[in-house]
Amino acid sequence: MEIHDTLRGLVVKNGVLLGALPPVQRAWALGIAAAAIAEGAEHSEPQVNAALKRCLAEEGAFLDADHVALRRWLVDIGWWRRDGFGRAYERVPAAELPAALQVVRQALDALDPAAWVAAERTRVQRERALRRAAWVDGDRDG
């Protein structure tokens, strides 16, 4: 499945607020962050915090959120679950996700989210640089 165009538009921005996004866009943005931990294992809160901080510095850099808020969003939306004491977290298996999240998960599983986001950001930066160069060159000739 092709990556949703909405996600392409989000990852090249800065300062995206999760609460301001429509549910479909939020699902895609959170899908990127959900992949920060491996499926099939429990992760401690310090492990999850470290994974989310890394994500926010790399593939999730488009988000305006801290790791604590992001962790809450992931649990509340259903990408992750935690034990009753909030000490252990796990990624919800694909088969147990709501149908809308399964579609997102399927698409994201087909790629390396960190590499894909980096490539998209690089592509947009390159396009902007070319437009800027063309404008400057055109301005000098005019």
Band of residue 101 on the pLDDT scale cut at 50, 70, 90: very high
Q: What is the pTM of this model?
A: 0.85
Assess whether pLDDT exceeds 50 at residue 68.
Answer: yes
Share of the chain above pLDDT 90, in %: 76
Written as six digits, the tokens of 135 are 């404008």
pLDDT in tens, 26-63: 999 999 999 999 999 999 999 999 999 999 999 999 99
Write out pLDDT tens, residues 113-137: 889 999 999 999 999 999 999 888 8
Instruction: Tell me what pLDDT residue 1 has.
Output: 42
What angle (nearest 5°) sits at the alpha carbon of residue 100, between those of residues 95 and 15?
115
HEC readout, 35-99: CCCCECCCEEHHHHHHHHHHHHHCCCCCECCCHHHHHHHHHHHCCEEECCCCCEEEECCHHHCCH
If one compares 43 and 8, the residue with the highest pLDDT of the two is 43
- Over residues 2-16, mean pLDDT: 84
